[in-house]
Structure 1
Amino acid sequence: MMEGKDDADLFADLGLSESIASIPSYTFIRDGLNRIFASSNNIWNVLIGTRLTPPKPLSDYDLVHIHNPVPLAGMVSVALHCRIKGIPYCVTTHGISKVPKIPEELGLSRGQRIVFNHGFLRAYKNVLSNATHLFALSEGDQDTITEWFSDQSVSVLPNGVDLNVSPEAPEVDTKVDLPDKPVLLFVGRIMASKGVDDLLEAFSLLEHDCKLIIVGPMRDEHFKDQIHTLSDDVEYRGYVEQAELDALYRRADLFVFPTRSDVFPLVTLEAMAAGTPVVSTTVGGLPEQIPDQVGRLVPPKEPKTFAAAVDGMLSNEQLRTEMGRAGKSLVEERYSWEAVAKAAVTEYYRIVN
């Protein structure tokens, strides 16, 4: 895999060591363009490349699995090396359904859209069209792939979650001790696209007396004052260690996630794995994750509707308990890493045999 600054922490959490080999990445093109254009956004991250130096010669491998779409340069490089060596490759298309929306979301000009279509989209589609198989995170992503490549081999393979988060696990951190009132938990980047505006407005409209815990890195600083001045019952914890996060998932009465734009978020599945019901929105793959028996979904950008859904759930403890159990069973069946890995390996064997 390509090297990243958080690799060591990630491998430690997963208990991985010798089985992982990092492939160096280079960022000088990205860094140079950021300096030239005084850019602080991530638009040039597509130009992060990689030196394909696996532990064994590439020709010794039976299959390469690429995850995309950013950085595009690294993805194109790996695919090109595979085609030269005649090695089949498959691709997990993370959020492919969002790719056509990128120009609008970034506010690209007409000229920039031309560059995007011919520089990014054409290269991206070329990699996908030459893949032996494509994995989609959700049925919505699979539909996009089918529209682009009607004859391409494709199947749905979601990301998985750790099942070590469970209601039966002991409390592991005293910082999780909370008042004797219902607890709402939000986990995610603190930014507008995650619906933080809608979350705070919805909380101010709730009829129930409850506490809101917000966890995640601050991506938009203007939310700091909003969070701290809204109510004494709103607490921002920032980044927390995994053990504390697991305890919060277990302790929460309801997981609230009014995201405005997402593909297939894992935080909702992590909450369900802990036996905690979810109130979220009808974006991306969330309707596939959260059927009626495990939570409630409302349209995005509707804080009043979101607040009503939360109040409805808080009014019915038995319903929350039943939904928590159903959500945990659903995650164990479909979204555990074991289930996801088995599905991936089955497809790998089909490809190479």
Structure 2
Amino acid sequence: MSHRAAAFAIPGDITTLTGGYIYERKLLEGLRAIGHDVAHLELGSSFPDPTPEHMADAIAQLEEVAPDRPVIVDGLVFGSIDTGGLARCRAPIVAMIHHPLALESGLGAEEADRLFRCERDNLALTSHVLVPSPHTREILVQSYGADPSRITIARPGVARPQGPPERVTPPLILSVGIQHPRKGHDVLLRALGKLRDLDWQAIVVGKVHDDAYAVELEALLGELKLGDRVRFAGRVPQEEIGALYRQAALFALATRYEGYGIVFDEALVHGLPIVSCATGAVPDTVPQGSGILVPVDDPDAFAGALRKMLEDEGLRAGCAEEAAAAGAQRPDWTETARIASEVLGVL
């Protein structure tokens, strides 16, 4: 069977350990594995706030793609690239939108409006859109006026555990997410500060993405006197993350918003109960019965959910069973690539 040649425009280091980069690297590899000739367009790392040089280079690279080779454009680029420049691309454009840039945490009203208008206008130039979740699809249709017939949900795949659970004592609370305000690690720390009477340890995995926020987290760690029980591990190899999932008793992420959240699938396949927030795509990603979801920015509620999980072994065991059952149904990356391949084949 012949597979259509394509291109994939991705900014910065494709090996970056964030959900979006993992998704796109796995999709690029998966499309190639099933027979697609996919050119990797390496764009500047400054997106979604591109330097003039990176903007000009991105437009030039997209303009050079042959008209018969669809180009998948990463959301950090797609949502911030100049609309007039994007219009110079002769190839069919497939937007890869994990979540709209205008919904990022910490944006001022003017910047959020600028990104919204850019994404909305760029959507008018696309042949198709790939999204990781029904939630993101709904936002694009309801808020951006996107044509639902031109949006395909390609859920992230997930790798299976590389061994059986290796639970440690005291119980390990694992959180995986870059050090960025949207991930809510400050809320997690404040919640953990209310649980000093219980026996637990916690590790937060994820590189520094926002220097000021990382300093804030370090100060908060000291203020709450949690340095003996909470460790910020930074960026760690994927194999080490897998080992931490096997050691953990539960997964906790006090996120303020997620367009999907691959880390939740990773927690599910490892049979981990989940404590997180009812925001964005999280309620669709974390099945009922596999954990507890609380309101955003509520350390008291988050602490209460963690306390229930730590104190009630029956609840924890029941959530673990539901999580494992849901994880067993999650697709692998071959399925994600197959769905994207079908989209490329009809453009």
- 1:150-165 matches, cutoff 5 A: 151-165=147-161
Matched, 1:343 2:339: yes
Cα distance in 2, alignment partners of residues 182 and 332 from structure 1:
24
Unaligned runs of 5+ in 1: 31-40, 172-176
Superposition map of 1:245-324 within 5 A: 245-324=241-320
Q: Is 2:89 aligned against 1:81?
A: yes
- The match for 1:52 among 61, 78, 91 is 61
Q: Counterparts in 2 of 1:86-105, with a 5 A limit?
A: 87-96=91-100, 99=102, 101=103, 105=106
Unmatched segments (≥5 aa) in structure 2: 1-7
Select 1:23's aligned residue among 23, 41, 59.
41
CA RMSD for the aligned pairs? 3.6
1:15-38 Cα distance to aligned partner (Å, 9 max, x none)? 9599663324358xx7xxxxxxxx
- Once the two structures are TM-superposed, the CA of residue 300 in structure 1 deviates from its matched residue by 0.9
Alpha-carbon distance between aligned partners in 2 of 1:42 and 1:88, rounded to the nearest angstrom? 22
Distance (Å, rounded) in 1 between the aligned partners of 2:152 and 2:207: 30
> Distance between the aligned counterparts of 2:11 and 2:122, measured in 1?
23
Residue 216 (str. 1) matches residue 206 (str. 2): yes
Shift of the 58–216 alpha-carbon distance from structure 1 to 2, 3 Å rule, reads: same
Distance in 1 (alpha carbons) for counterparts of 2:339 and 2:15:
27
Indicate how the Cα distance of structure 1 residues 306 and 45 shifts in structure 2: closer, same or farther if over 3 A, else same: farther
Aligned position for 2:108: 107
Q: CA 1:321 to 1:348, structure 2 compared with 1: closer, same or farther past 3 Å?
A: farther
Instruction: Name the structure where helix makes up a greater proportion of residues.
Output: 1
Give the distance between the partners of 1:78 and 1:317, measured in 2 at CA: 54
* 1:233 corresponding residue in structure 2: 229
Q: Which structure has more RCO (C-alpha within 8 Å, separation ≥ 6)?
A: 2
Q: Greater shift after overlay, 329-338 or 215-224?
A: 329-338
- Residue 214 of structure 1 aligns to a residue whose secondary structure is strand
Encode CA deviations 1:28-53: one digit per residue, 9 max, x unaligned.
xx7xxxxxxxxxx9644696341327
CA contact (8 A) 1:258 1:300 kept: yes
Q: CA 1:246–1:151 in 2, change beyond 3 Å: closer, same or farther?
A: closer
> In structure 2, what is the Cα distance between the partners aligned to 1:79 and 1:273?
42
Shift of 1:287: 0.6
Q: 1:107 to 1:157 in 2, by over 3 A?
A: same
Is the alpha carbon distance of 1:124 and 1:68 closer, same or farther for their aligned partners in structure 2, counting shifts above 3 Å? same
Q: What is residue 7 of structure 1 aligned with on the other side?
A: 14
Contact persistence 2:269–2:328 (CA under 8 A): yes
SS at match of 1:296: strand
How far, CA to CA, are the matches of 2:235 and 2:65 in structure 1?
40
Counterpart CA distance in 2 for 1:79 and 1:250 is: 47
> Once the 2 structures are TM-superposed, how far is the Cα of residue 330 of structure 1 from its aligned partner?
2.6
What TM-score does the superposition give when structure 2 sets the normalisation length?
0.76
5 Å matches for 1:186-201? Answer: 186-201=175-190
CA contact (8 A) 1:159 1:340 kept: yes
Residues 4 and 64 of structure 1, relative CA distance in 2, 3 Å threshold:
closer
Q: Secondary structure at the match of 1:59?
A: coil
Q: Does 1:141 align with 2:136?
A: yes
Contact 2:62 2:86 (C-alpha < 8 Å) held by counterparts:
no
Shift in Å at residue 157 of structure 1?
A: 1.9
Matched to 1:65, the amino acid is I
Residue 4 of structure 2 corresponds to none
Alpha carbons of structure 1 residues 76 and 336: separation in structure 2 relative to 1, 3 Å = farther
Identical-residue share of aligned pairs (%): 24
Question: Residue 35 of structure 1 corresponds to which residue in structure 2?
Answer: none
Q: Is the 8 A contact 2:174 2:203 kept in 1?
A: yes
Distance 1:319 1:108, change over 3 A: closer
Matches of 1:151 and 1:192, distance apart in 2: 32
Contact conserved, 1:194 with 1:257, CA < 8 A, in 2? yes
The CA deviation string for residues 217-241 of structure 1, in whole angstroms up to 9 with x for no partner, is 2332132243253252222222211
Q: Is the contact made by 2:271 and 2:323 (CA closer than 8 Å) also made in structure 1?
A: yes
Which structure has the bigger radius of gyration? 1
Contact 2:257 2:280 in 1 (8 A): yes
Report the number of matched residues. Answer: 317
Distance 1:261 1:338, change over 3 A: same
- Quick one: distance in 1 between partners of 2:237 and 2:281? 27
